[in-house]
Amino acid sequence: MTTLLLHCGHARAAVHADDGALLAVLAAQCRPWITAQPATRVPPGTWTVRIGDADAGARVPSRTGASVRLRPDHRLLHLPAPAPCDDTEAAVRPVVRLLRALLRRQLAASGAMFLEAAVLALDGGGLALVGGARAGKTTTLVAALRHLHGTLIANDEISLHLARSEQRTGAEPGVHGQLIARGYPRAIEVRRDALTYLGAAADRLAAAADPGSPPQALSLTPHRLAAALEAPLADAVALSALVLLARGTGRPRLQRLTGPDAAAVADHLTVADSYESWLQPHLPAQDPDPRGADRLLQAVPVWRLTQPLTDLQTSADLLAELAHHPEASR
């Protein structure tokens, strides 16, 4: 049996499997957000996922798409070995989902906050595009990556970590700052009704999308989306600004927010994991701290980008300028 030890910031988990090739695919799908290394020993107390044919523990109502069994006394989770198939990405998807839940819940326990936001890095500074469903996060992210040659950090459900500007344990080289945004391996859905606003990028995304995408959206792994847009990937970035997205007419415009308007970012704080609720007694994930917005506002400026999706080039230009001058007033 082969073992991988996985880390995401200060959180860790392990995976055991007989199929080394499956673990190699898993490690590739987790990078760069979760690092995976072969291990001969797992530290005591580490949550462990075992992939194999032997059942262990009680079955839980997992939303990973696989049958999951739990032995809480050993912090052990069991998944059956996937049936042989050509789609290795699909075979490891339930494991990635389970690891994401385990790691995010551990990070929440150490003080991380979680936010509905897409994140990209431009010239080393990070911008978080904040909004709920259908706010335009993915569409704006794709346009900015395409026009500005930015780095993809995350499409949604980021974690935020307050850190000193000096060296951080587990940080990527060069990532410093007060508020660190971290992404996770998570499928990206690009709504088909938004493709008309994306120009040539729409054809690239359609060619890279999962053939089994739902009727209303193109489904892509972040690796495939980044490759289609010729954008690099990174696990984390120090944020320069939070950008609340709003729909509007006329030319896109940025407005610096303060007071209650800026505090609206708190509406988009979310829980670490809303999918694997059966983990709650064993690895609790608390509701968002109402004081979280104050911590965010003290760390980075908040802006509102009001835009029609018909002028994403101008929106991208505004974001590029904001990345260089996040404190400037307009």
Nearest to 5 by CA among 240, 160, 26, 21: 26
Q: Tens digit of pLDDT for each residue in 189-228?
A: 999 999 999 999 999 999 999 999 999 999 999 999 999 9
> How far is it, in rounded angstroms, from Cα 52 to Cα 37?
20
- The pTM assigned to this predicted structure is 0.92
- Which residues, in sequence order, are bridge partners of residue 255? 304
Mean pLDDT of 36-60: 90
pLDDT, average across residues 106-132: 93
pLDDT of the residue at 73: 87
Query: pLDDT value at position 86?
Result: 67
Q: Is 231 helix (H, G, I), strand (E, B) or coil?
A: coil
Q: How far is CA 82 from CA 17, 62, 79, 95, in A?
A: 11, 16, 8, 10
Write the pLDDT tens digit of every residue in 249-258. Answer: 999 999 999 9
pLDDT (0 to 100) of residue 233: 97
Nearest to 105 by CA among 17, 26, 189, 184: 184
- Percentage of the residues of the chain whose pLDDT score is greater than 70: 94
Share of the chain above pLDDT 90, in %: 79
Go through the domains of the chain in sequence order and give each one's CATH number: 2-108 (no CATH), 113-324 (3.40.50.300)
Say if residue 222 is preceded by a cis peptide, omega within 30 of 0.
no
Name 303's bridge partners. 243, 256
pLDDT of residue 1: 83
Q: What is the mean pLDDT of the chain?
A: 91
d(CA 249, CA 255): 15
pLDDT at 54 over 50: yes
173 versus 234: the higher-pLDDT residue is: 234
Provide φ and ψ at 250, rounded to 5°: 80, -165
Asked if the model's pLDDT at residue 29 lies above 50, the reply is yes
Between 2-11, 132-141, 283-292, 303-312, the lowest mean confidence (pLDDT) is in 283-292
Residue 164 has a pLDDT of 57
Amino acid at the residue 254: L
**Which of 35-49, 82-96, 253-267 has the weakest average pLDDT?**
82-96
Report CA Rg, the chain.
20
pLDDT score, position 329? 57
Tokens standing for 273? 């994991």
